[in-house]
Amino acid sequence: MEKTPIMINGLPGNVARTMAQSAITDSRFNVIPFSLTGQEIEDTTTVIESLVFELVKPDIRDKKIQQIKTRFPSFITIDYTHPSAVNSNALFYTQNQIPFVMGTTGGDREQLEQVVKKASTPAVIAPNMAKQIVGFQAMMAYAASTFPGLFKGYTLAVAESHQKGKADTSGTAKAMVGYFNTLGVDFDTKDIQMVRDPDVQEKEWHIPKEHLAGHGWHTYTLTATDGSALFEFKHNINGREIYVNGTFDAVLFLKEKLTEPDTPRKLYTMIDVLNRK
């Protein structure tokens, strides 16, 4: 089987590193030895599994991408950079006709979608790349559309915990709040409890110490006004492997879409990936 060339952006960040470590040893992919990174990163290279990656900063990427595309005419990009770079990166990808999978959360998501819809380059964009969590979200979306107002009058508490380095509130938690709003609950995303303190995570949440540097725990609690009923939903993920598998599936899905002639649609989600035949 012909390998799919991929460029993993966000090195030397932890999620991008995990992606690279898995992709390098995956027979389905050919990993390009370049990675877009932040201007503040001091290193010019990073080594993963004996592969030396050249780190490309924003001030040189316009010139460098032309050299990269000359050497690798066709590839798909995986973006796990920083929330502050989401929109500028998406614009960069579309301007340079680079198909991409956006795993980075944050940024202006409406603007992100509009950029892709107006471009000629397809992309998979989702606040969470874990297929099982995406499936759970799909169930919640179905419930919200089928039983609107079901939890009217209930109060909602949302708490999410991620590693200390995650800068923004969980995109998954924000999406879930939208479903609960449709189900009749009055709750604002700004009221999501965002936990980033390792001491609190270990002692109060009882998150395994070995996963403090990489985890995603979420709890959604619905309580009736009179206290007579309580519903609680959880999804607790340790490590990052679950996101790797989903991201790679998104890449292969995008590869298929690139081979389909005259496909007007350009913006895809992980729901589309799950429905892939």
Catalytic residue among 131, 166, 215, 218: 166
Shared domain for 16 and 105, answered yes or no, is yes
CB atoms near residue 190 (< 10 Å): 8
Residue 264: its pLDDT value, please? 79
Q: If pLDDT is split at 50, 70 and 90, which confidence band does 267 have? A: very high
Shared domain for 103 and 48, answered yes or no, is yes
Shared domain for 88 and 160, answered yes or no, is no
Residue 20: its pLDDT value, please? 97
- Residue 265 pLDDT more than 90? no
- Residue 260 pLDDT more than 90? no
Shared domain for 223 and 114, answered yes or no, is no
Of the candidate ranges 26-35, 60-69, 84-93, 267-276, the one whose mean pLDDT is the lowest: 267-276
- Residue 261 pLDDT more than 90? no
Average pLDDT over residues 94-123: 94
Mean pLDDT over all residues of the chain? 95
- Residue 244 pLDDT more than 90? yes
Residue 263: its pLDDT value, please? 75
Does 162 qualify as catalytic in the annotation? yes
Q: Which residue has the higher pLDDT, 186 or 277?
A: 186
Shared domain for 155 and 226, answered yes or no, is yes
What CATH code is carried by the domain that includes residue 190? 3.30.360.10
Q: How many domains does the chain have?
A: 2
Q: If pLDDT is split at 50, 70 and 90, which confidence band does 106 have? A: confident
Residue 249: its pLDDT value, please? 96
Which domain covers residue 138, as residue numbers?
131-238
pLDDT digits (tens, 9 = 90+) for 194-207: 999 999 999 999 99
What CATH code is carried by the domain that includes residue 39? 3.40.50.720
Shared domain for 95 and 166, answered yes or no, is no
Shared domain for 65 and 34, answered yes or no, is yes
pTM for this model (two decimals): 0.84
Catalytic residue among 69, 82, 152, 162: 162
pLDDT digits (tens, 9 = 90+) for 116-149: 999 999 999 988 899 999 999 999 999 999 999 9
Average pLDDT over residues 204-230: 97
Shared domain for 141 and 217, answered yes or no, is yes
Shared domain for 43 and 107, answered yes or no, is yes
Residue 190: its pLDDT value, please? 96
Shared domain for 256 and 231, answered yes or no, is no
Residue 128: its pLDDT value, please? 87
Residue 262: its pLDDT value, please? 72
Shared domain for 20 and 53, answered yes or no, is yes
- Residue 1 pLDDT more than 90? no
Shared domain for 13 and 89, answered yes or no, is yes
Residue 277: its pLDDT value, please? 60
